[in-house]
Chains A and B, each alone.
Chain A
Amino acid sequence: MSPSLHLLRRKAVNIVMLTLTGLCTLIAAGTLVFILGYLFIHGAKSLSWNFFTQLPTPVGETGGGMANAIVGSAKLLLIASLVGVPIGFLGGVYLAEFGGSKFSFVVRYVTDLLNGVPSIVIGIFAYTVIVLPQRHFSTLAGGLALGVMMIPIAVRSSEEFLRAVPVSLREGAMALGASKSQAILTVVIPAAKNGIITGIMLNLARVAGETAPLLFTSFSNRYWSPGWEQPIAALPVMIFTYAISPYEDWHEQAWSAGFVLLTLVLMVNIAARLLLSKRKHVAR
């Protein structure tokens, strides 16, 4: 092959590859933009103040909102945090600060496996542990399922942020007479605080959109849920129910619910990024 032909071939390959990779990037980013735009157009259209304040209306009546599902999601996430955050955070502290290398390896491996368990399987777990013995769906069961889903990422993110605290800070504390646990409590954890909180927020935002584990744990509810022992509505489950219904009006509401859920998740994400970006300047 003559040199000029060789060069031509290289240029051609270059152009093809550039087009191909660029196109794929465009599709990847475009999908998100498309979803966001579509959700905005459909969701914002029928979004009204009533959506946030009213209960769902009976079949056949138009109007109404999803106030109970918004509160329901909040309650489920509260229980999920009570389960997932302490276990995840303290587990992360142990792995980062005290775990031997072999044991930590095993635990890390197990948490990664847990992270890969399909959410519906975790739903079955909560169903077996709480719903079956009690013989009714409950908020607690749904919260537990979401909490278990939070654990692996909570452990790993806490561990990572604690490990990122420089050894020099631990040494500095210990050189002043602090014991290892004092150093962890008074220097390492405060230094990693923003990162750990960010991890938890992103984690919450992630499970806020989970539907499968709620379907047969917290089920759903057309009314306010009076306590923690009763079935409760949640935004993702409402989206599911409304979207597969035969009523045009419900479809509109499902779009609105999707829009609200996505907005909340995005807001949490942005807040988390902001928190993380200023973690180097922790003043009193």
Chain B
Amino acid sequence: MSPAKPMPASAQQAPEPDMAPPSVNMAASGEPNLAAESATKISATDLNFHYGSFQALHGISMKIFENRVTACIGPSGCGKSTFLRTLNRMNETVRHSRVEGEILLDGQNLHSFEVSEVRRRVGMVFQRSNPFPKSIFDNVAYGLRINGVPGGGSPSRGELRDAVEHSLRRAALWDEVKDKLHQSAYSLSGGQQQRLCIARALAVNPEVLLLDEPCSALDPIATTKIEDLIFHLKSSCTIVIVTHNMQQAARVADYTGFFLLGRLIEFDETPLIFKNPAQKETEDYVTGRFG
């Protein structure tokens, strides 16, 4: 972990007046009271993203509010996952990719941080659960061993044990695995594996958690568990979720952004998006007329 940098408290960022130049995307809904009740955790401005010669994102401007759940919806290939993966700079690993525009994390440019610090502060859970071929314990402890503990040095056994238990409890998995922490993570069911991946991401205490279609491979019961989890986690974490499931977005998200062909068509409070969208495309999509 890099030495402690002065982190601007997010409160300092709130008054920044020019955060949302009413871009084309937001023109219709404007940005009414979005920021009134919560500070901005991440703010993307005029974000373009290219895979080689293909431009996947066109001028995305969007804010992610602290301790809120923000959903990104839209048909396949609309760029919502790409957008998510720019928020922890995961897209940098793609060859020949290029990003333009600005992303601020707590008001500081995302690219001014060490990439490992970004990834620690902005955790990610993937579409397909991807536990490491290690024990359950080692999966959750992985991030702590890689990053060290706050204050430097590698974590002691006791610290690791406590942190692993705490993370598994936060991911509502502790009771199911406490007696088999040293079994392979592959012995768990699909839903448990996905919660294990959430626990693994939580272990390093991320400020933001990015969920990339976390339930798309899960049955309805496992999905309910993850949604409950999201609801509980938002008190301690800022959450961005990409989902294909509009009911899911309606259930868990405070804010929803609708993406289409690499553009952010509309971004607003979730009830407005689903009940009273300002854009024709949004209405067509949420009413199931296409996509």
Q: Find residues 43-86 in chain B having any chain A CB closer than 8 Å to their own CB.
A: none
Q: Tell me which residues across on chain A come within 8 A of B138, comparing CB atoms.
A: 284
Decide if A176 touches B130 in the complex (CB within 8 Å).
no
Q: Find residues 137-182 in chain A having any chain B CB closer than 8 Å to their own CB.
A: 166, 168-169, 171-179, 182
Decide if B186 touches A176 in the complex (CB within 8 Å).
no
Of B98-106, B196-204, B236-244, B281-289, which stretch is located at the interface? B196-204
Q: Tell me which residues across on chain B come within 8 A of A182, comparing CB atoms.
A: 146
Decide if B123 touches A175 in the complex (CB within 8 Å).
yes
Decide if B146 touches A186 in the complex (CB within 8 Å).
yes
Other-chain contact of B133, A174, A175, A176, A282 (Cβ < 8 Å): A282
Q: Tell me which residues across on chain A come within 8 A of B137, comparing CB atoms.
A: 284
What's the nearest-Cβ distance from chain A to residue B210, in Å?
8
Label chain A's interface by main secondary structure: helix
Closest residue of B by beta carbon distance from A194: B133
A102 contacts the other chain (Cβ, under 8 Å)?
Answer: no
Other-chain contact of A169, B119, B130, B183, B184 (Cβ < 8 Å): B130
Decide if A171 touches B126 in the complex (CB within 8 Å).
yes
Closest residue of A by beta carbon distance from B116: A177
Q: Tell me which residues across on chain A come within 8 A of B117, comparing CB atoms.
A: 177
Known: A284-B135, A284-B182. A177 touches B130 (CB 8 A): no
Binding site for A on B (CB under 8 A): 1, 88, 90, 93, 116-117, 119-120, 123-124, 126, 128, 130-135, 137-138, 142-143, 145-147, 182-184, 186-187, 197, 200-201, 204
Decide if B90 touches A176 in the complex (CB within 8 Å).
no
5 closest cross-chain pairs (CB), A and B: A168-B130, A176-B143, A177-B120, A175-B124, A284-B135
Q: Tell me which residues across on chain B come within 8 A of A6, comparing CB atoms.
A: none
Decide if B186 touches A280 in the complex (CB within 8 Å).
yes
Decide if A177 touches B119 in the complex (CB within 8 Å).
yes
A135 contacts the other chain (Cβ, under 8 Å)?
Answer: no
Q: Contacts A172-B200, A173-B132, A178-B146 given; 12 further ones with Cβ under 8 A?
A: A171-B93, A172-B126, A172-B132, A174-B90, A175-B90, A175-B123, A175-B201, A177-B117, A187-B132, A190-B134, A191-B133, A283-B183
What's the nearest-Cβ distance from chain A to residue B185, in Å?
9
A-B residue pairs in contact (CB < 8 Å), sample of 9: A172-B131, A172-B200, A173-B132, A174-B90, A179-B116, A191-B133, A283-B134, A283-B135, A284-B182
Binding site for B on A (CB under 8 A): 166, 168-169, 171-179, 182, 186-187, 190-191, 280-284
- Determine the distance from Cα of A280 to Cα of B187 in the docked complex, in whole angstroms: 10
Number of A-B contacts (CB under 8 A): 83
What's the nearest-Cβ distance from chain A to residue B133, in Å?
4
What's the nearest-Cβ distance from chain A to residue B218, in Å?
16
Decide if A172 touches B182 in the complex (CB within 8 Å).
no
The residue in B128, B132, B142, B145 that gathers the most chain A C-beta atoms within 10 A of its C-beta is B132
Decide if B133 touches A190 in the complex (CB within 8 Å).
yes
Known: A172-B126, A174-B93. A282 touches B134 (CB 8 A): yes
The residue in A169, A173, A174, A177 that gathers the most chain B C-beta atoms within 10 A of its C-beta is A177
- Determine the distance from Cα of A284 to Cα of B134 in the docked complex, in whole angstroms: 6
What's the nearest-Cβ distance from chain B to residue A25, in Å?
37
Decide if A169 touches B93 in the complex (CB within 8 Å).
no
Closest residue of B by beta carbon distance from A178: B146
- Determine the distance from Cα of A171 to Cα of B212 in the docked complex, in whole angstroms: 13
Decide if B132 touches A191 in the complex (CB within 8 Å).
yes
What's the nearest-Cβ distance from chain A to residue B181, in Å?
9
Other-chain contact of A281, B116, B143, B145, B186 (Cβ < 8 Å): B186
What's the nearest-Cβ distance from chain B to residue A12, in Å?
52
Q: Tell me which residues across on chain B come within 8 A of A176, comparing CB atoms.
A: 119-120, 123, 142-143, 146-147, 200-201, 204
Q: Tell me which residues across on chain A come within 8 A of B134, comparing CB atoms.
A: 190, 282-284
- Determine the distance from Cα of A168 to Cα of B146 in the docked complex, in whole angstroms: 18
Decide if B184 touches A281 in the complex (CB within 8 Å).
yes
- Determine the distance from Cα of A280 to Cα of B131 in the docked complex, in whole angstroms: 12
- Determine the distance from Cα of A280 to Cα of B132 in the docked complex, in whole angstroms: 11
Other-chain contact of A186, B128, B142, B200 (Cβ < 8 Å): B142
Decide if A177 touches B135 in the complex (CB within 8 Å).
no
Decide if B186 touches A172 in the complex (CB within 8 Å).
no
Other-chain contact of A173, B123, B142, B186, B204 (Cβ < 8 Å): B142
Q: Tell me which residues across on chain A come within 8 A of B200, comparing CB atoms.
A: 172, 176
- Determine the distance from Cα of A73 to Cα of B123 in the docked complex, in whole angstroms: 53
Decide if B143 touches A177 in the complex (CB within 8 Å).
yes
Decide if A177 touches B147 in the complex (CB within 8 Å).
yes
Closest residue of A by beta carbon distance from B143: A176
What's the nearest-Cβ distance from chain A to residue B135, in Å?
4
Closest residue of A by beta carbon distance from B183: A283
What's the nearest-Cβ distance from chain B to residue A53, in Å?
43
- Determine the distance from Cα of A173 to Cα of B130 in the docked complex, in whole angstroms: 10
- Determine the distance from Cα of A282 to Cα of B184 in the docked complex, in whole angstroms: 6
What's the nearest-Cβ distance from chain A to residue B168, in Å?
16
